[in-house]
Amino acid sequence: MLGKKRFMALLMACAVAVTSLAGCGSSNGGSGTEDQSGTQENAEGSSNGTVVMARSIDSETLDPALASKNQDIWMMNFALEGLVRSTEDGKDVEPAVADTWEISDDYLTYTFHIRDGIKFSNGEEVTPEDCVYSINRAKNMEGGPYTSMISAITDIRAEGEDSVVVTVEQPTPYLLSLLAMFPCSIMPQAYCEEVGDEGIANAPVGTGPFALESWEKNNGMVFVKNEYYWQEGLPTVDEFHMNVVTDDNTRMMQLKSGQIDMAEVPLSQLDDLKNTDGIIVEEFPSTSVDYIILNCQNEKLQDARVRQALELATDKEAIIKAVSYGYGEPADSFISPAAPHYNTNLPEVTRDVDKAKQLMEEAGYGDGMELTVEIASGNTAELQEATLLKEQWQEIGVTLNIEQVDGATASANWSALDYEVYFSYLTSDMTDTSQLASLWCDYDSTQCWSSGWNGEKQQEAEKLVEQAGTEMDEAKRAEYYGQMQEIVAEEVPNIPLFNSSFYVAHSEAIDNVAQTPLGNYRFETLTKSE
């Protein structure tokens, strides 16, 4: 069996996490069907021109085996797909390259059947050998951030003309979610071997709705309709241009003037755009949660009562208003409501200074204490957040010192548990809770997301995550993850601050915009009227 420590360790690599430098199994015998494909009818099968969108930062690589940043990952859905893909709500998987699959009675063997006649955007037919090559490439990629996670797959082989067999060592309820992740995107073996890693990074070929036609670094990408796309009538536009416009004001001026059709929106300008004629602002749920990490190995923070007091002293609404311009909802868990298995029954934590003072007194800190928060120099948002927190915690006798260091130092100190208070956020890139749960609750491999949380309660949470990691009954998994969240909420190794959303602004001519809670753009059904 796959050892628990190894299993937990591999999960850490796959979370898209950003700190101050700047995560469903099918039932036995289950199968995907055409009804799950999400195909939308387009009677004429026609396209309607070119759509231009602008974002603030360019991608670094489009190699699915090496990408780790949002600006890379979100572009891959234009051109790449796996055997399966995440649903639009981000909580399940649906057919993609494979249209059906079966799971063995012991949950150790998955047999996927490649959709009949499916082709890559270069016109080559998809073969089982292409699937085996693509997944093994990601699994064996030196320096790849997802290699350890994909190692949960013990074997993958081609079977016949249209089947791929995947095996695991133990029941793995997150396997379908793993195969839906971008590292497991299916690419043509012959093309990949011809162009090499550099060619893949700059021009990957897949089965997605679009094909990458050109990429001028720091300027933008041009995607064209994939004429071989397996969903008939899609995509509904001929071309999609993703421009890079780093200045927020310039990007918004281009949108208002009609130079572009869509734009990534800075929170500071959401209110203005919402009141602009001809502009529509769309909000999409996100799995992202902003929080404060407390070093539970620090003598002053080892007592859960102190950590509870700090959360009770934190005015989350005030932080949301100041840092996110009022956009966000107070969080009560490190699991977002947009993620699977979010516990809807967690008690709401409202600010209570008197209760916080009482807890500090009980913990032996009635006379107060000093703590230090490290933030990356130049991060104005975190400086503002820290300044607010300093004022709030002072009400319970906690003096918060703000120390600005370079980003590399801040990250290194956090990883080494050489800090006291740290700001971070975490979002999942997987349609399963195991990813985030393991990050926070497995001490041996991840030190609970560098919080140092340990002890009897942590071990209870870790056991629940371990049980959920091999449990194929979805109801039981939900129960385990719900109990785990209750323990974390009680112990407070982190203070969840707020849940975020994704925002896209576009002209009234654009319709059918979609973005999953994982951040992936789903623009194959996007339309543009004349």
- Left if phi > 0, otherwise alpha if psi is -120 to 50, otherwise beta: which for 204? beta
pLDDT of residue 310: 98
3-state secondary structure 80-119: CCCCEEECCCCCCEEECCEEEEEECCCCCEEEEEECCCCE
Residue 494 within any structural domain of the chain? yes
Reading the block at residue 406, the tokens are 């370079």
Q: What is the mean pLDDT of residues 233-237?
A: 96
pLDDT of residue 36: 36
pLDDT of residue 24: 31
> Which ranges constitute the DSSP H helices of 109-242?
128-140, 147-150, 175-180, 189-202
pLDDT of residue 48: 73
Confidence of residue 428 (pLDDT cuts 50, 70, 90): confident
Q: Find all residues with CB under 8 Å of 265, minimum gap 6, and list them.
A: 252, 273, 281, 503, 504, 505
Residue 449 within any structural domain of the chain? yes
Confidence of residue 44 (pLDDT cuts 50, 70, 90): very low
Query: What's the structural domain count of the chain?
Result: 1
pTM metric for this prediction: 0.87
Is residue 15 scored above 90 in pLDDT?
Answer: no
Rounded percentage of the chain residues whose pLDDT exceeds 70: 91
Is residue 18 scored above 50 in pLDDT?
Answer: no
Tokens 């407390």 correspond to: 294
Query: Among positive and negative, which fits the CA dihedral 368, 372, 378, 381?
Result: negative
For residues 108 and 91, the model is more confident at 108
| Model confidence pLDDT, tens digit, residues 452-492 | 999 999 999 999 999 999 999 999 999 999 999 999 999 99
Out of 24-33, 132-141, 164-173, 320-329, which region has the weakest mean confidence (pLDDT)?
Answer: 24-33
Domain extent, residue 408, equals 286-500
Is residue 419 scored above 80 in pLDDT?
Answer: yes
Residue 329 within any structural domain of the chain? yes
Q: In CATH, what number is assigned to the domain containing residue 404?
A: 3.10.105.10
pLDDT of residue 21: 30
Cis ω on the peptide bond leading into residue 496 (within 30° of 0)? no
Q: What is the mean pLDDT of residues 347-373?
A: 97
Is residue 27 scored above 50 in pLDDT?
Answer: no
Confidence of residue 41 (pLDDT cuts 50, 70, 90): very low
Out of 190-194, 204-208, 230-234, 442-446, which region has the weakest mean confidence (pLDDT)?
Answer: 442-446
Confidence of residue 427 (pLDDT cuts 50, 70, 90): confident
Residue 275 within any structural domain of the chain? no
Around Cβ 271, how many Cβ atoms within 10 Å? Answer: 13
Confidence of residue 26 (pLDDT cuts 50, 70, 90): very low
pLDDT of residue 530: 76
